[in-house]
Amino acid sequence: MEVTILKTFILIGVIDSFDTNYATVELTTNPPTNADAALAVLPASMFPCKLKEGGGFFLVKLTEDADSLIICRKEK
* pLDDT tens for each residue of 14-54: 999 999 999 999 999 877 777 788 999 999 999 999 999 99
Q: What is the pTM of this model?
A: 0.83
Strands 22-29 and 9-18: antiparallel
pLDDT band at 6 (very low <50, low <70, confident <90, very high): confident
What are residue 59's DSSP bridge partners?
11, 70
Residues 58 and 38: their CA atoms lie apart, in Å, by 14
